[in-house]
Structure 1
Amino acid sequence: MELFLTGVVLKPKGLKGELKVKPVTDFPESFLRRREYYVGKTPKDVVLRKVQSASFHQGFAWLVLEGAGSREDAEALAGCGLYVTRDALESMPDDRAYIHELIGLEVFDEAEGRVGKVSDVLQMPAHDVYEVDTGNRKVLIPAVEDFITETDLQKGIVTLRRFKEFL
């Protein structure tokens, strides 16, 4: 089963097991709708937990999960990830993509042809950066309109301009 990280448990609040969660999703409001998460330190050691209550305040989700009804139970979950399955992911607008959809795309330069594959997407404060594996080395390309001219998930390609500037 493929799981996707959607939040990280930061710390407990109060005595009844409420958890402060940092969203790592473009859809933080989804924390108010989701009824279950796979919870664990890694995707390999997760346990399915139902949501008993959820709220959102000042950029953080506040959850009470089944089986974590005390402060001690909640403290044990600090640092855990909250994961969802692919079918539980929110639909992206047509001009956006999930990171897992971008990794593996073939990368082409408008003038040079194929230059490599997207091997990772780094989330930086200003914008994402695509790590492109050329076969010889990895090159970082800012994911901005000045360099990325097209991303076509159906064709499995990213087209850029001025790739040689990054070599």
Structure 2
Amino acid sequence: MKKENCFYLGKIVKKYSFKGELLAKLDTDEPELYEHLDAIFIDLRGNLIPFLIESSQLHKSDLLRLKLEDVDNESDADALLKSDLYLPLELLPQLNGNKFYFHEVIGFKIKDEKFGEVGTITGINDSTAQALFEVDRNGVEILIPMNDEFIVKVDRAQKTIMVNTPDGLIELYISSS
């Protein structure tokens, strides 16, 4: 399984018991969706390794307690600490309306209600306090905040996102290039 065919689910943060159980911090608003998985991929030295799950349950609401097959003691568990967890993309719950996954909208066109077509989404910058659409407009990068108030409509069929940005935001990028 290749990483590009998977999504990041979370990270193993600590051991739970001397029997090899682990606690994983999930990167989701709905951890209950992942409580009864059969298998998971763990990133070990850059390779995604499949592990069968014997049992799993939510622990203190935001952690997932995992008992993996063939991980039966503390030293087995130690080898997996701080490892990233992945699942195949097809296990992502479908989103609808104006909710979307970041990877899903790469390549979508951005249109602004006042400005018209802005460009194509080439990436998402989520390293700042406010996530940003990275939009390419004929070689000029335009950054548009991914603010719910700005996003008017996500049209998956047409692969477009309609936004309503503050006056002058898009022009700032174009006039300075």
TM-score by length of 1: 0.84
* Greater CA drift, 61-70 or 87-96: 87-96
Root-mean-square deviation over aligned CA pairs = 2.4
Q: Which runs of 5+ in 1 are unaligned?
A: none
Q: Residue in 1 aligned with 2:169?
A: 165
Q: Residue in 2 aligned with 1:89?
A: 92
1:69 aligns with 2:77: no
Q: Residue in 2 aligned with 1:111?
A: 114
Tell me which of 40, 47, 50 is aligned to 2:49: 47
Q: Deviations over 1:19-48 (max 9, x none)?
A: 111111233112212111111147x61111
Q: Report the secondary structure of 2:142's partner residue.
A: strand
Q: Residue in 2 aligned with 1:57?
A: 59
| Bigger Rg over Cα | 2
Displacement of 1:146 in angstroms is 3.1
Asked if the contact 1:27/1:90 (under 8 Å) is kept, the reply is: no
Asked if the contact 2:36/2:57 (under 8 Å) is kept, the reply is: no
Asked if the contact 1:115/1:134 (under 8 Å) is kept, the reply is: yes
The 1:113/1:41 distance shift into structure 2, 3 A limit, reads farther
1:6 aligns with 2:9: yes
Q: Report the secondary structure of 2:29's partner residue.
A: coil
Q: Report the secondary structure of 1:20's partner residue.
A: strand
Asked if the contact 1:116/1:135 (under 8 Å) is kept, the reply is: yes
The 1:165/1:19 distance shift into structure 2, 3 A limit, reads same
The alignment-based identity, stated in percent, is 27
Q: Residue in 1 aligned with 2:31?
A: 28
Displacement of 1:49 in angstroms is 0.7
Q: Report the secondary structure of 1:10's partner residue.
A: strand
Q: Report the secondary structure of 2:114's partner residue.
A: coil
Q: Report the secondary structure of 2:79's partner residue.
A: helix
Q: Which runs of 5+ in 2 are unaligned?
A: none
- Partners of 2:111 and 2:54 in 1: how far apart? 47
1:150 aligns with 2:153: yes
